[in-house]
Amino acid sequence: MAPMVSHLRSALRSRGLTQQDLSALTGISYAAVRNAARLDGNPFLDDALRIARVLDVPIASLYTLAEHRKA
């Protein structure tokens, strides 16, 4: 399965929120939020759903599958 690509950092920036803010708003540990915000973040589905709900965005806008092409 292709890894996930996270767009969470840009979503947080556009809303003026920090990862710590998101942790508090979602009840997800800061470590889990930090990992989800990594470019190759692969959050648990329930965490991703909570994040999308709090940010009021579709989950697909936060995470996409990375495409791997063979050279």
Read off the pLDDT of residues 34-43 as tens digits, 9 standing for 90 and up: 999 987 778 8
pTM, 2 dp: 0.81
| Separation of alpha carbons 11 and 9, rounded Å | 5
Contact between residue 23 and residue 17 where contact means Cβ atoms under 8 Å apart:
no
Q: Give the bridge partners for 6, in sequence order.
A: 63
Task: Tell me the pLDDT tens digit for each residue of 28-66.
Answer: 999 999 999 987 778 899 999 999 999 999 998 888 877
Q: Which amino acid is at 43?
A: P
CATH number belonging to domain 4-65: 1.10.260.40
Domain locations in the chain?
4-65
